[in-house]
Chains A and B, each alone.
Chain A
């Protein structure tokens, strides 16, 4: 039998015999999925099946929605033509051999299978292949139109900014914590050791993710009473060691601190100063301290991308955001190279001034909304609509600030910095600087007869049309005939 579990006939449900099955079919309820969605009062009224029976049947049909069987298991069992009943009766050792999975995974799978015995009729289990258990989440995806999604993306990104991530960098004094912080921020690496006083908090960007707060803590013992407070609530903790035996001993204290104060935080160790003679290897350090350890030379600027990737993996950022790390590093390098005395012409000054006036008006609006929220709070009344307005206002302000940056950076233009054409596949790779200052790489296909190509900046969502001359060149390169 093909198809999936929810598509089985209603008579597969335990307790639904031919008589009940026929009555349900007459009402258009023919599959488990139909049964899960039915109105119990209406069905009971029209079929004369007792209400408590309908409730029981629908509950069983709805249980199916909650079952997700591991795909790898189903595939292996179906290949060997196991029926559901045979799969239920399989020995755990045989299952482990067949699937190559761990005992825990096998037990979880068998537990899920046990639920099936509550739902399906015994005869159905005996005669149906495990292939039918290819359940997917009962939810299906029907995405909204792209423009609506983009509008919601902006609001979602604003919510993301309101729930910042916290990464704490800890370690003994002089191991390189501040140097690592400087490298992350693409700032000049300090030439000599300047002890951090208490804790420096900086907002950093990792790939496409902003609003990540990096707490660079002071490592000197005089601040020891504050270490617990700094790591508390951290989503990720970076323990920096200088790869020496002495520091390794000292760092065990920090491990205990982490396990006491933030047992649920993700932790990585950076074995800094790997360029120095006699440095312990990351494997030795990992064995000693028990957390994943990465080698690093924080004074080497070429390792910035590697460091950002470590941080991204630490807080388990989505690939959508992590994939922008190479572009971020390239962009920051280009920006640094192009840092120059910007000539503020009267025209540019006016443009910036206009946007600044917009920002001032939005700030006023934000202040008014906050006052209203405060008033509502004092009255003990709900203020959710005002909060929504505040979210939208902050979003407008952020976009206006990006426009100022773009005006200063690129004179208000988007530019194709470079491109190359893969003629055989008609693919074109662009490196583009958007008007918001973001540099990104994108791949686009040229089809014969396509008149223009429109691209969308992943950061500010500005639509960017490839300039006419560039487009002509690309089209000719793709279709020389």
Chain B
């Protein structure tokens, strides 16, 4: 099950939506800030990458052109292929909206 969606622009959260409880901000913040740091440093876009923690999966995808980092947090049982597919689709669809906004 999808639990949380967060969109970063730089180190600012521009959008978030919660469907279920996940980590507290205290627990997850170091990881998220590392990912924003990663976005600054990396030269190429990441289509989809998935990190496994004990109870959840954290998927991320980037759009360097617009400086966006998309994060999906799902249950550990959700299949990687579906998560990867969905985060890429979400990246594309939302980047289009934000381009026009």
Contacts and interface: CB of A to CB of B under 8 A. Distances in A.
Partners in one complex: yes
Given A66-B29, A138-B29, A165-B1, A320 B75 contact: no
A387 B89 contact: yes
B32 A137 contact: yes
Query: From DSSP, what is the main secondary structure of chain A's interface residues?
Result: mixed
Interface string A125-159: 00000000000011111111100110111011001
B55 A264 contact: yes
A321 B1 CA distance: 14
Contacts of A144: 14-15, 98, 101
A475 to B, nearest CB: 35
A294 to B, nearest CB: 19
A234 B78 CA distance: 10
B20 interface: yes
Interface in B57-100: 72, 74-78, 82-83, 85-86, 88-94, 96-98
A385 interface: yes
A425 interface: no
Nearest to B27: A68
Taking residues whose C-beta sits less than 8 angstroms from the other chain, chain A's interface range is 35 or more
B1 A388 contact: no
B89 A318 contact: no
B42 to A, nearest CB: 16
A163 B77 contact: no
B80 to A, nearest CB: 12
A83 B23 CA distance: 30
Interface in A368-402: 382, 384-385, 387-388, 390-392
B67 to A, nearest CB: 13
Contacts of A235: 1, 75, 77
Interface in A202-252: 209, 212, 233-235
Contact of B101 (A148, A155, A209): A148
A140 B89 contact: no
Interface residues of B, number: 50
Given A66-B30, A66-B34, A318 B47 contact: no
A68 B26 contact: yes
Interface in B1-45: 1-3, 5, 7-8, 11-21, 25-26, 29-30, 32-34, 36-37
Contact of A384 (B11, B14, B47, B97): B47
Interface of A: 62, 65-68, 70, 137-145, 148-149, 151-153, 155-156, 159-160, 162-166, 209, 212, 233-235, 264-265, 315-318, 320-321, 382, 384-385, 387-388, 390-392
20 contacts: A65-B37, A68-B25, A68-B29, A137-B33, A138-B29, A139-B13, A139-B29, A155-B94, A156-B5, A159-B5, A163-B78, A233-B77, A235-B1, A264-B55, A315-B20, A316-B3, A317-B19, A384-B91, A388-B93, A392-B93
Which 4 A-B pairs have CB atoms at the shortest separation, nearest pair first?
A388-B92, A165-B1, A387-B89, A66-B30
Given A65-B30, A139-B13, A159-B5, 20 more contacts: A66-B30, A137-B32, A138-B33, A139-B12, A140-B11, A143-B13, A143-B15, A148-B97, A149-B15, A156-B5, A156-B90, A163-B83, A165-B1, A235-B77, A264-B76, A316-B21, A318-B20, A385-B92, A387-B85, A391-B93
